[in-house]
Structure formats: C-alpha cells, structure tokens
C-alpha cells in the first residue's frame, strides 16, 4: 500500500484535511442551510433519528461527527446526557456555543475523528454510551478504514447499546438515470472486466453495447456541488455512497445484532422529471417518509440509517 493511500495514516490525514477544508465555511450557516425554515427540503432524517432514539430509551448519547450540533441540539432532554465530536474546528466551535446556550457544558463537544478510537471518549472520561449516532460521516470514510470505524463505534457502546448510522444509498442510482447511475452501472453493477476478457470476436459488439448503456443516462445531472469560497465542495471531496445490504453485512460482521435498515428522503419519481409536477412530487414523497422500512426505499430513497445493537 502506498503512503498516500486512504488506508494509511498519511492517506487518511489527506482525506480528513480535505473534509475539514470543505466544511470550514459552514460552521455558522450549516444548520440554517439544511435544518432551517428556508432549507430546500424538510429535515426528515431528524424526525426519523429522534424516533429511533426515543424508541430505544437512550440516556447517554454520543453524536460522532456532530457538526455544529445540528442534530445534537434536538436530543437534549431531561435525564439524558448528550455528547458530540467533530473533525472540523469551525463546526466544533459552533456546536459548543449552541449546546452551552441550551444548558449543556461546552466540554461535551470536542474535536475528534471517527477513525481514532480514543476520540470517542469525552474529555471528562465518559467512554461508554447506550447510543452512538453517526450522521453525514460515512460518505467521507475511505473504504479501507470503514471496518475500523465500525469497530470504533462498537467499542464506544456499552453491551446492548445501539448504533444509529446514516449513509447515502448507492442503490438509489438504479432509479435516478443520472451521473450517479452511470457510475454505478459501469463501476459496480456490470461485470465489465469479465465481459472484456470473454468478448473474443465480439469486442466491437461489446463496445457498442457499453456505449449504448452510457447513452441512457444524463451524466450532466445533478450539477457538481462546489465550495462557497476557495474550499472544495461536497462533490469535490470523498463523498461515497453505500449499498445498504452490504453495509448491513459489515455491521453484522462487526459484532452487532438485529441490524435494521431504515430509509429516508424518498423520491416518488426520478428527480430529473420532478419539475413537471413539483407540488405532487414533494407531497407524495413526504407521505412515503411515514414508513422508513418500505421495501421501495431500497431504490427510491437517497439515504438510510443502519440501526444495530451491540451484541
């Protein structure tokens, strides 16, 4: 493995440095951009996460990758201890300010990385939680260290505690017919290398077939998200999607049981055609959020939570 590959410390540090830079200008605006009244879409994942936490009677919660306490502020409740850490200093500073205004010690929010097991322990010494919430983080984790991160989450939980971990849904690409679909079909779904090995005298036909498949997608959609200033945008740093079924298997292999999948941000039509009936699209899509375990979420929801109990 080369020194700068993501699985090595130097490679991970490069990825994390880019992530920090990407989020560095969002410290004070992230919450209003994605959770506020003017957000482009209601924060349906917040309602789902609150339900999942409340159903499990969580008393000591850690938000691993808490940002500016975007979700953490909503979990503050009598009889519940809340903690959080984040990679980006600007996010941590805002998160400390927010929780302090809500009566929680700012020391309950600190700088940390999900790739470092010791960073899960609060400065005051709290090291075991009955729930670790991790939202918006898995897309930025290199595949080479993903198993280690799942192990760190497992290690931070007391026996019987719950992991509630969010990821972007790779199988949503089967439904969108855009650049994500193009990448998914040609890099993950189709056995292109095997086809090329076995093509023999049909190489011309294979080339034509793959070209036709490529032509089925709108690779100009969705637009690339750039940064606000000089920092890279979300699509310009590591921002992976996950196959829900494969991530579920990784949690089972990592010492978890009763691993459930809960889908959110449903799309009742492929996004590229939603402009023909925007009110209808939004209304029916929001109705679909009522059942986070609807099987159609495997393809029609752009994100999901893995909910798993430490064995």
Using an 8 Å Cβ cutoff, are 207 and 135 in contact?
Answer: no
What span, in angstroms and rounded, lies between the C-alpha atoms of 132 and 209?
46
For residue range 57-104, list pLDDT tens digits in order: 999 999 999 999 999 999 999 999 999 999 999 999 999 999 999 999
What DSSP designation does 93 have? H
Residue-range domain boundaries for the chain: 9-170+224-310, 179-214
Q: 3-class DSSP state for residue 63?
A: strand
Neighbours of 146 (CB within 10 A): 19
What pLDDT is stored for residue 11 in this prediction?
80
The 3-class SS string of 290-303 reads CCCCCCCHHHHEEE
What span, in angstroms and rounded, lies between the C-alpha atoms of 262 and 275?
27
Give the strand pairing for 129-134 and 109-111. unpaired
129 Cβ neighbours under 8 A, 6+ residues apart? 60, 61, 62, 83, 156, 157, 158, 161
What span, in angstroms and rounded, lies between the C-alpha atoms of 229 and 172?
30
What pLDDT is stored for residue 8 in this prediction?
64
What pLDDT is stored for residue 1 in this prediction?
41
Is the pLDDT at 10 greater than 80, yes or no? no
What pLDDT is stored for residue 156 in this prediction?
97
What span, in angstroms and rounded, lies between the C-alpha atoms of 296 and 300?
6
Q: 3-class DSSP state for residue 46?
A: helix
For residue range 256-281, list pLDDT tens digits in order: 999 999 999 999 999 999 999 999 99
Out of 164-173, 207-216, 248-257, least confident range: 207-216
Q: 3-class DSSP state for residue 26?
A: coil
In the block, residue with structure tokens 């010494």: 125
What pLDDT is stored for residue 229 in this prediction?
83
Using an 8 Å Cβ cutoff, are 61 and 99 in contact?
Answer: no
- Give kind and range of the element (H or E) at residue 308: strand 301-310
> What is the pLDDT confidence band of residue 3, given thresholds at 50, 70 and 90?
very low
For residue range 168-206, list pLDDT tens digits in order: 999 999 999 999 999 999 999 999 999 999 999 999 999
Query: If you average pLDDT over residues 135-150, what whole number do you get?
Result: 97
Region 9-170+224-310: CATH code: 3.40.50.150
Is the pLDDT at 47 greater than 90, yes or no? yes
Residues in the chain: 311
What pLDDT is stored for residue 125 in this prediction?
73
What span, in angstroms and rounded, lies between the C-alpha atoms of 190 and 219?
17
- On whether the pTM is more than 0.85, the answer is yes
Q: What are the angstrom distances between the C-alpha of 137 and each of 134, 149, 164, 185?
A: 6, 10, 12, 24
What pLDDT is stored for residue 123 in this prediction?
85
Looking at every residue in the chain, the average pLDDT score rounds to 94
């Amino acid at each position: 493995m080369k020194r700068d590959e993501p699985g090595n410390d130097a490679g991970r540090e490069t990825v994390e440095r880019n992530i920090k830079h990407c989020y560095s200008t969002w410290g004070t605006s992230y919450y209003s951009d994605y959770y506020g009244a003017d957000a482009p879409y209601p924060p349906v994942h917040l309602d789902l996460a609150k339900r999942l936490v409340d159903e499990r009677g969580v008393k000591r919660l850690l938000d691993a990758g808490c940002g500016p306490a975007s979700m953490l502020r909503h979990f503050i409740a009598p009889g519940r201890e809340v903690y959080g850490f984040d990679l980006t200093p600007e996010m941590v500073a805002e998160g400390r300010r927010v929780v302090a205004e809500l009566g929680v010690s700012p020391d309950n929010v600190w700088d940390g990385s999900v790739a470092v097991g010791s960073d899960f322990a609060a400065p005051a010494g709290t090291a075991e939680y009955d729930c670790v919430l991790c939202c918006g983080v898995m897309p930025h984790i290199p595949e080479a260290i993903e198993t280690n991160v799942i192990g760190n989450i497992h290690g931070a939980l007391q026996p019987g505690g719950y992991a509630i971990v969010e990821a972007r849904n790779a199988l949503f690409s089967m439904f969108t017919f855009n650049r994500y679909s193009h990448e998914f079909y040609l890099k993950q779904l189709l056995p292109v290398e095997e086809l090329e090995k076995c093509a023999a005298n049909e190489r011309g036909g294979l080339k034509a077939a793959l070209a036709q498949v490529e032509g089925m997608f709108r690779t100009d959609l969705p637009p690339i998200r750039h940064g606000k200033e000089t920092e890279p945008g979300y699509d310009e740093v590591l921002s992976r999607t996950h196959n829900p079924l494969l991530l579920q298997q990784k949690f089972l292999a990592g010492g978890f049981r009763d691993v459930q999948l809960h889908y959110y941000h449903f799309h009742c039509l492929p996004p590229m055609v939603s402009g023909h009936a925007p009110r209808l699209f939004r209304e029916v899509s929001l109705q679909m959020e009522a059942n986070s375990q609807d099987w159609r979420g495997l393809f029609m929801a752009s994100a999901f939570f893995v909910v798993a109990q430490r064995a």
